[in-house]
Amino acid sequence: MYKLFLYIWLSLGSLSLLGQIQVPGMPPSVAATMLNQQQAWNNGDLEGFMIGYMQSDSLLFVGGSGVTTGYDATLSRYKKGYPDRESMGHLTFTNRSWTPLCDNSALVIGAWKLNEDVGGMYSLVWRKINKQWVIVADHSSD
């Protein structure tokens, strides 16, 4: 009986987190990917966080320090900026909109927050490749 209550409690917790991520029109798989990214980050797992990104030299990341091109370079950038679990803090995503650009791509606008004192906005271009939604471009700012 205890396990059932624990499962229900954990499921409800995930649903409340999903509520900050899921926006009208967004495919459930995209919301689930972003929730998994948030949880991976909060567990100190940068490789897990990167699962939502297209694994290609064409991946584009634009941030305060400039433009990074490619999956490996983006992962290296994250590892340099966040060398350990403590420096990563606690990440929260809050999406504002999902805007389809065509049949297989869309734009997500949202806000990110690290701990209580650092945050900013992001725009993510998602593309459906081989039946899977992946981030092909990320523009994040403070």
Tens of pLDDT, residues 31-86? 999 999 999 999 999 999 999 999 999 999 999 889 999 999 999 999 999 999 99
Beta partners for residue 68, in sequence order: 61
Helix, strand, coil shares of the chain, percent, nearest 5, are 40, 35, 25
Query: Which of 91, 96, 139 is closest to 112 using CA atoms?
Result: 91
pLDDT at 20 (0 to 100): 86
pLDDT at position 6 is: 37
pLDDT in tens, 85-127: 999 999 999 999 999 999 999 999 999 999 989 999 999 999 9
Q: What's the CATH number for 2-141?
A: 3.10.450.50
SS3 39: helix
Cα-based torsion angle of the residue sequence 120, 94, 85, 13 in order, rounded to the nearest 10 degrees: 160
